Amino acid sequence: MMNLEMIPLLLLIVPLAGAALVPLINLLFSKAVPLFSVFVGLVTAVIGFFLPGQIGAKAVSIVWLPGVLKTGFQLDTLSVVPALIATWIGFLVLIYSLGYMKREENLSRYYSLTLLFIASMIGMSLADNFLALFFFWEVMGVCSYALIGFFYKDPKAASAGVKAFLTTRIGDIGLLAAILTIYALTGTFSISAGLASGARIALPLLNFIAFGFILGAVGKSAQMPLHVWLPDAMEAPTTISALIHAATMVNAGVYLLARVSPLLALVPSWLTVIQWIGALTALLGSLLASFHNDLKRILAYSTISQLGYMFLAVGVGGVFASQFHLFSHAIFKGLLFLCAGAVIHELGTKDIREMGGLWKFMPVTGTTFLIGALALMGLPVLNGFFSKDMILEEAMVAGSWGPLIVAALAALLTAYYSLRTTAVVFWGKRRTAVHVHEAPAVMTVPLALLALGSLVSWVLVGPLTASWTKTGLKAPHIAWFELLKETFSSTAFIITACVIVLGFLIFYYRKNLGWLKEKVPAFFKAVSVGLGFDTCYSWLSRLIYSASSILSNFWEEKVMEGINRATGKTSVALSISSREMQTGDLHWNLLYVVIALIIILGLILW
Amino acid sequence: MNLWPFVFALFTLGIFCLLTRRNLVKILIGLELLSKGATLALIWSGILRNSLAYTQSLAVIVIAIEVMVVAIFLALVYAFHEKSSSLDTDDMRRLKG
Amino acid sequence: MVYLTLGFLLLFALLAVLLRDILLSVLSLAAVSALLSIAFYQLNSPVAGAFELSVGAGLITVLAVLTISFVQKRKEKRQAGAVLWVVLSLTVAALIFFLFQALWPQALANVFPKTAWGDVGEVLWKVRLFDLLPQILVILAAVLGILALLRKEGENKEK
């Protein structure tokens, strides 16, 4: 009988070991690598089934350095949900990769990094001390960088990987500063101890710590203004986009903020900042998604926008709402990405203007994409509706009307672009001549499973809230029928309903709205370049680079060389001036001897 | 009883001879006077401290070194005379920097 | 009594400095050495006195005169007056010494305690043994220096 306390540790170790073994298997029998990875994913998923039963129980921990370094596990619902998302969606992605990545090379690198990533996401969310959290956070960043640049021969991909790494690095510095400050003030890295002692920390330091955490979250979850890396990260294989940049890693920022929300509650001004960041990012993301034509980019901006919603939720104190939306979003966004992957795989293009009328040829993909798009839009009965509505409700209760209005606008645009994308890709007339057929079963089965999840995952709200309160986090217990009743009778529902209807109308009559483009061309121009964020950053980095090269040139040539030349000149000058003493006259030398003698005698006698 | 003025006088004579005479042998004489003054000073200080045995041994060593100096100097004089047939220091300027 | 010796010593030193003829200067130097050794005897340092006499008045004078004879190829220009000065000084000095001894015997008495030869030897070999090492080095250096300086021109050309 296996010791149940070992389950979290096993959940962490199995994918880690898999990641380490993949290169070995590649050496022995390279064709077996994908199947081996799927097998490891299966084992992890099976272990994951035991995890919810362990919520609230103790887990075994390994102490590396007493008091400092420990692999410990914290088993409450807040941790378990992201870990399970990583496990199960990771498993589905691995199955999907069997088909999607069949014709690629260097598969061992891909599968090894994917397994490592799954392990680190599990490690990060289950970690009970800040140091382990930060360690796994960084490992995820490295995996993301390596996987974005998977097609390293393409310079766009390589530079996108570097851009992602650098941008999240800025956030990581904030995170590290916050963690170290807490350590310096409380002497412990343990998360629960650190949060409990938050009340004793002085307010200015608490502000700094909060800022650090927020910076880390903003970087990792691609919020404004550090959102620029996520659209470029779409150079990665679509499976990676689905796993890392929709379902798991970008959720790490939201998870972090949810985890330290007790600390953040002590500094209300920062909470307002988080609300506004979330709302504005939601609007920005949906705006940009409405006007771009690269399918993966649309989905990337959509992810940014939905993460903004989660930030808004944390900012108004609805921690459960944020995690619930995280859960729904992981499912439907993963679904959308995988469908997009199937389409791109078949057509060989990412531009939606070259797609169209694919419904006839890819019915399964089309249907599941539609379900995902409807969930994104927030159509009632799908999981996106319930979670988004819950967020708006929390915002209303907290009285944050400004962010609420912005978020409602964003929902309007979300409805528009989700319908638009589906229409352009799957409906209408065919704009491509490539022969298209449905994706293989190995790819469509995960799609179907995820679509099913989009339809019914909200039903799990009952058990989720039950276990939530079991471990001390605050949320009322809601069963699924209660959720139905409450949602349809809340004020927020009115807003959501209006928004959906308006969005649908805009979509339906979008051809008639073409006159808008001529009226404000500058606006559309700005939107097409991502509102100028990228240009700003590249200008800034060029400035820093040239400034530093000027400085280093100055240092090298003026200062260092100057020292060299000055030394030489001084020696020569000294020798020229002291040459006068060598007269060649014996008496002069004797005179010097006598003078020296007198001086020495004087020194001795005194 | 005070012998310090004599020591001082010997030193002065030696330095005077060293600095003002042009002939090499005269310079040697100046050196010698200095050495003798030093030896006298040694012995007198030995008397003042009542440690004549110790001081005399030091004086013996100084005398021996004095001999060596004179020997080398005279060899130098000889070699110089071989080269240039004059013992005038004004003619010895080849070490001018 | 020591004052007398030293006074004459200063006189002869002055002569050595001021005389133009280098041979006479060297002879005056010899007289200085002799008088110094007598002074050492009077100061109860017979060991130092013996060394000074043998070395200063003997070895150095011989070497110097030898070198001068090699160096002065031309005929010696003797200042008649100078020789007279030296001889006169020597005579006067001897006379005064004699007078003193005859008239004031106590003045020549030794006021200082004697040191025995054995004491100095003991100090030299036991306490200042370390000094003998540099002494040997100095002697070696002197020998080598003299050999180097006295090398003939012709030997250089052969090499």
What tokens does B48 get?
Answer: 């003042």
More confident call, C63 vs A472: C63
Instruction: Give start and end residues of each alpha helix (H) in chain B.
Output: 4-20, 24-49, 52-84
| Pairwise CB contact (< 8 Å): B19 & A579 | no
Q: What is the 3-state secondary structure of A14-73? A: HHHHHHHHHHHHHHHCHHHHHHHHHHHHHHHHHHHHHCHHHCCCCCCCEEEECCCEEECE
User: Which residues in chain C have Cβ-Cβ distances shorter than 8 Å to B10?
Assistant: 9-10, 13
Count of residues making up chain A: 606
What tokens does A6 get?
Answer: 């070992």
What is the rounded CA–CA span in Å between residue C88 and residue A241? 123
Distance to chain B for A563, nearest Cα, Å: 29
| Pairwise CB contact (< 8 Å): B89 & A583 | no
Q: Cβ atoms within 10 A of the Cβ of A473, count? A: 18
Question: What is the SS3 assignment for A129?
Answer: strand
C contact test, residue of B68, B73, B83, B89 with most C CBs within 10 A: B68
Question: Tokens 């030299």 identify what position?
Answer: C124
What is the rounded CA–CA span in Å between residue A176 and residue A138? 10
Q: Cβ atoms within 10 A of the Cβ of B25, count? A: 22
Nearest chain A residue to B19, by CA = A587
What is the rounded CA–CA span in Å between residue A41 and residue A22? 12
| Pairwise CB contact (< 8 Å): C32 & B33 | yes
| Pairwise CB contact (< 8 Å): C47 & B56 | yes
Q: Are A77 and A55 in contact (CB under 8 A)?
A: yes
Task: Note whether ipTM > 0.95 here.
Answer: no
Distance to chain A for B96, nearest Cα, Å: 4
What is the rounded CA–CA span in Å between residue A109 and residue A130? 29
Question: What is the SS3 assignment for A211?
Answer: helix
> Is 50 exceeded by the pLDDT of residue C21?
yes
Nearest CA to A285 out of A227, A348, A347 is that of A227
User: Which residues in chain C have Cβ-Cβ distances shorter than 8 Å to B63?
Assistant: 48, 51-52, 55-56
Question: Tokens 């220096």 identify what position?
Answer: C145
The pTM score is 0.65
Domain boundaries, given as residue ranges, for chain A: 4-528, 535-605
User: Which residues in chain C have Cβ-Cβ distances shorter than 8 Å to B67?
Assistant: 55, 59-60
Mean pLDDT, each 10-residue run in order, chain A (606 residues) = 70 87 83 85 85 71 68 78 87 87 81 91 87 90 89 84 87 91 82 77 83 89 84 86 81 88 82 87 87 87 90 85 87 89 82 78 84 85 80 80 85 86 80 73 82 78 69 63 69 75 76 68 71 79 88 87 90 87 78 86 82
User: Which residues in chain B have Cβ-Cβ distances shorter than 8 Å to C25?
Assistant: 25-26, 29
Nearest CA to A245 out of A288, A297, A300 is that of A300
pLDDT bracket for residue B35 (50, 70, 90):
very high
Count the alpha carbons within 13 Å of B56 in the hemisphere toward its beta carbon.
Answer: 30
Geometric angle at alpha carbon A254, from A252 and A255, rounded to 5°:
60
A contact test, residue of B19, B76, B90, B94 with most A CBs within 10 A: B19
What is the rounded CA–CA span in Å between residue A250 and residue A231? 13
Helices A249-259, A295-315: inter-axial angle, 10-degree rounding: 0
pLDDT, tens only, B40-51: 999 998 888 888
pLDDT, tens only, C25-36: 898 999 999 999
What tokens does A500 get?
Answer: 């959906």
What is the rounded CA–CA span in Å between residue A388 and residue A313? 9
pLDDT, tens only, C106-124: 555 555 556 666 666 666 6
| Partner residues linked to A129 by β-bridges | A190
Distance to chain B for A569, nearest Cα, Å: 20
Nearest CA to C63 out of C156, C130, C146 is that of C146
Q: What is the 3-state secondary structure of A238-260? A: HHHHHHHHHHCHHHHHHHHHHHC
Q: Which domains does chain B have, with CATH numbers?
A: 4-86 (1.10.287.3510)
- What letter does residue C76 receive in the DSSP assignment? P
| Pairwise CB contact (< 8 Å): B71 & C146 | yes
- pLDDT at residue B22, rounded to an integer: 82
Please indicate whether chains A and C are in contact, defined as at least 3 beta carbon pairs under 8 Å: no
How, if at all, do strands A69-71 and A62-65 pair? antiparallel
pLDDT bracket for residue B97 (50, 70, 90):
low
Window 554-593 of A, Cβ < 8 Å to B:
579, 581-587, 590-591
What tokens does A374 get?
Answer: 């409807």
Question: What is the SS3 assignment for C150?
Answer: coil
| Pairwise CB contact (< 8 Å): B65 & C135 | yes
| Pairwise CB contact (< 8 Å): B53 & C52 | no
